[in-house]
Copies of this chain bind each other. A is one copy, B any other.
Amino acid sequence: MAPPTFAHVIILGIIEDQAAIRDALSEYLAAQPEFTCVLSTASHEEFMERLPDLAEPPTLVLSDIGLPGRSGIEGLAILRHALPMVEVLMLSVYTDAERVFEALRQGAVGYLEKTTPLPLLKEHLLQVAAGGSPMSPSVARHVTRYFRPLPPTPAESLTPREQDIVRGIEDGLSYKLIADRLHVSLDTVRSHIRQVYRKLHVNSKAEIMVRRQRPLLFW
C-alpha cells in the first residue's frame, strides 16, 4: 500500500544564509511526503525577488533571523505584507528577549532554536500546519516572564472605591464619565483621584495608565 497521502501538502519556503544549513533543511524536508519546498534563499531580499516567479506561493516560511542585509525580523513584516496568509516560523541562534518579542510582534507564528534536530523540526512544522505555535522552552520563558504577575503595588494598597476610580482612568474615561459610572459627583471623583495620586506617587492620569503596562523586560 502506498504511504498515506496528505490532503494539504505544506508548501515551504526557507530563508537561511548558511548554505550548509539551508541545504540540510531543504533536502531533509523536501524528502518528507508532507512537504514541498518551493523556494530556498540565502537572503530575505532574494526571497522576495523570486517570490513572484512561483506558481504557488509558500504557505509556511522557515526564516533565520541573523541574515546578511535585511534581518529576518525586518523581513518578516515585509513578507507578511506580501503574503498575509503565510505563517512564518523563526529559526535563530539568538533567543534574547528583544528578538523574541520583536519577532512575535511582527507576527511570527513560532520561534525555535537553531539547534533543533531535523526530525523534531519536522514535527514542529506539522504542528504549525495543525494550528500550533512551537516555541523552544528558552524562548517561551521570555513569554511566561512577560505575563508573570506584576509586583502588586509598591505603594499602599488602594481602597475598593479608589480601585474603581483607577479602573475608570485605565479605561480612558474623563472625570465626568467616571462620576457618571460610579453615580457620584465630579468633586468626589476629584477627591478620590487626589488620594490615589498621593498613594501611588503619581500626578497625572497618564502615569496611572503607563503604570499598568507590562514591561518588555529588555527596556
Contacts and interface: CB of A to CB of B under 8 A. Distances in A.
Chain A: number of interface residues, binned into ranges: 35 or more
Contacts of A106: 149
A207 interface: yes
A201 interface: no
Contact of A132 (B77, B133, B141, B171): B141
Contacts of A204: 172, 174
Interface in A99-132: 101, 104-110, 124, 127-128, 130-132
A51 interface: no
A62 to B, nearest CB: 15
Contact of A171 (B130, B148, B171, B210): B210
A137 B174 CA distance: 40
B149 A137 contact: no
A209 interface: yes
A134 B138 contact: no
Contacts of A134: 137, 140
A148 to B, nearest CB: 5
Contact of A144 (B77, B104, B149): B104
Contacts of A11: none
A59 interface: no
A108 B101 CA distance: 19
A83 interface: no
B174 A144 contact: no
